């Protein structure tokens, strides 16, 4: 009798899994259509008004409880299963970048906007359009199987992952501040990022530190203006800027133990002067620090501060440096990774779920992981055999849309397995 009941139970579970697999397979064309829509009509951070409207309309059509205007333009959906249990959060970022697209797709972006006072093209040059479409598809699949959900799923569509405009709050930090991980309280969170250099069908992951903490820094240098023909009568802030930039690199090459973890200091913008024959009064440097180790981060920030002030003084000027934290370390909870790895192997194949090394890119998904255990992984978006993978944040960035369905399978399976276990 017990054996008969067990066989009936296993049969029911198997049938249900087959039904879920069929639902996922049947949604692929809609998944691609959503992605192409978002790609064609991208919106910058904290300005994702139409993106949010489309997401909310879809979630409401599924009978999911929806809250809009979270962290300005974010959307949160809550799907309660037929049985009580824990709460799983799934997150997708929805913002685009100030990049003019150079691809020739029929759905390429022609959107033009303004960023920091400059007219610019707008493009989903990091794959957030795919993340949004994937999570919309997961919501549709799971909404059809509420009877299998032993708990609650919270769908978090997050704006401003690339950072809010200067002077504004936004992104994961603001969502957390507004209580996105509460009511109901989230137990774990899962997220993914499509990757243009990872072959379709492959998932990459790393326990513990996977992506870097990111600091934005601004250096203001004060010199003394003079005629370009008489440098001895002034203090050259451009020269000081050059010495500071050079000095920063010695912190990396001579003071940071790179055999433990990678670290990067990059100056991305220098502003100074108005004319070829005038030594200006001031200069400004803007850049980023990337670290994967808290102790190394503290060392680098301390030494940059000392070096900024000291070098400027040694050349007769003054300088200050300010840091703004953009992301923490994207830290995958080791216990959660171990628990959920079989779910990823189940949908992708054991040989297609691969351990990766840490990278110096940053993700504000990390702020969620500081509050609750999280698991973040890479999803393959490169056509297998393709030898040319354009980097993220570039005008030529592209992904193979056939890789998105695995993302739907992965997030769906992670959710079901976590809640059932």
* Alpha-carbon gap, residue 173 to 334, rounded angstroms: 23
Q: Confirm if 237 and 280 have CB atoms less than 8 A apart.
A: yes
Strands 318-327 and 208-222: antiparallel
In 10 A of CB 379, how many CB atoms?
A: 27
In 10 A of CB 364, how many CB atoms?
A: 25
Q: Which of 8, 27, 26 has the alpha carbon at shortest distance from 16?
A: 8
- 296's tokens: 């190394």
Percent helix, strand and coil across the chain, each to the nearest 5: 40, 30, 30
Q: What single DSSP character describes residue 146?
A: G
Cα–Cα distances in angstroms (integers) from residue 330 to residues 163, 226, 252, in the given order:
16, 47, 21
* Alpha-carbon gap, residue 126 to 109, rounded angstroms: 13
- 219's tokens: 């250096």
Contacts of 401 (CB under 8 A, 6+ apart): 32, 35, 130
Cα–Cα distances in angstroms (integers) from residue 60 to residues 44, 90, 123, in the given order:
24, 17, 27
Cα–Cα distances in angstroms (integers) from residue 251 to residues 256, 259, 262, 270, 299, in the given order:
6, 14, 12, 20, 9
Per the listing, tokens 């992301």 go with 327
- 57's tokens: 């309309």
Cα–Cα distances in angstroms (integers) from residue 92 to residues 74, 180, 296, in the given order:
10, 13, 30
Q: Which of 157, 148, 126 has the alpha carbon at shortest distance from 58?
A: 157
Catalytic residue among 93, 101, 140, 161: 161
Strands 118-121 and 112-115: antiparallel
- Tell me whether residue 318 is one of the annotated catalytic residues: no
The sign of the dihedral angle between the CA atoms of 177, 182, 183, 188 is positive
- As a three-state string, the secondary structure of 126-139 is CCHHHHHHHHHHHH
* Alpha-carbon gap, residue 256 to 216, rounded angstroms: 19
- Tell me whether residue 161 is one of the annotated catalytic residues: yes
Catalytic residue among 48, 93, 95, 129: 95
Q: Which residues are catalytic?
A: 95, 161
């Amino acid at each position: 009798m017990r054996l008969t009941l067990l066989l009936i139970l296993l049969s029911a579970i198997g049938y249900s899994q087959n039904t879920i697999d069929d639902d996922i397979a049947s949604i692929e064309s809609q998944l691609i259509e959503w992605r192409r829509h978002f790609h064609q009509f991208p919106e910058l951070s904290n300005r994702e008004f139409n993106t949010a409207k489309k997401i909310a309309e879809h979630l409401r059509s599924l009978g999911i409880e929806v809250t809009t205007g979270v962290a300005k333009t974010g959307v949160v959906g809550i799907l309660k299963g037929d049985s009580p249990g824990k709460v799983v959060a799934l997150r997708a970022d929805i913002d685009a970048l100030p990049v003019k697209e150079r691809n020739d797709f029929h759905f390429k972006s022609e959107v033009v906007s303004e960023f920091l006072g400059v007219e610019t093209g707008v493009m989903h040059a990091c794959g957030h359009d795919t993340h949004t479409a994937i999570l919309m598809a997961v919501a549709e699949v799971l909404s059809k199987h509420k009877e299998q959900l032993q708990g609650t799923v919270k769908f978090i569509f997050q704006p401003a992952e690339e950072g809010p405009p200067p002077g504004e709050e936004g992104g994961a930090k603001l969502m957390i501040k507004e209580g996105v991980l509460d009511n109901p309280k989230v137990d774990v969170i899962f997220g993914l990022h499509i990757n243009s250099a990872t072959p379709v069908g492959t998932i990459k992951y790393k326990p513990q530190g996977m992506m870097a903490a990111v600091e934005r820094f601004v250096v203001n240098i004060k010199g003394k203006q003079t005629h370009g023909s008489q440098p001895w009568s002034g203090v050259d802030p451009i020269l000081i800027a050059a010495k500071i930039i050079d000095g920063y690199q010695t912190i990396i090459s001579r003071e940071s133990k790179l055999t433990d973890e990678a670290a990067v200091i990059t100056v991305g913008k220098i502003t100074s002067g108005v004319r070829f024959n005038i030594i200006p009064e001031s200069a400004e440097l803007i850049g980023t620090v990337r670290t994967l180790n808290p102790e190394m981060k503290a060392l680098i920030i301390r030494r940059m501060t000392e070096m900024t002030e000291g070098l400027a003084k040694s050349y007769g000027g003054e300088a200050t440096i300010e840091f703004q934290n953009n992301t923490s370390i994207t830290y995958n909870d080791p216990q959660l990774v171990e628990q959920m790895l079989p779910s990823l192997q189940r949908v992708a194949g054991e040989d297609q779920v691969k351990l990766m090394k840490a990278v110096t890119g940053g993700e504000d998904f990390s702020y969620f992981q500081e509050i609750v255990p999280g698991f973040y992984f890479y999803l393959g978006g490169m056509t297998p055999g393709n030898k040319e993978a354009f980097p993220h944040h570039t005008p030529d960035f592209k992904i193979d849309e056939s890789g998105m369905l695995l993302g739907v399978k992965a997030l769906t399976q992670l959710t079901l397995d976590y809640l059932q276990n």
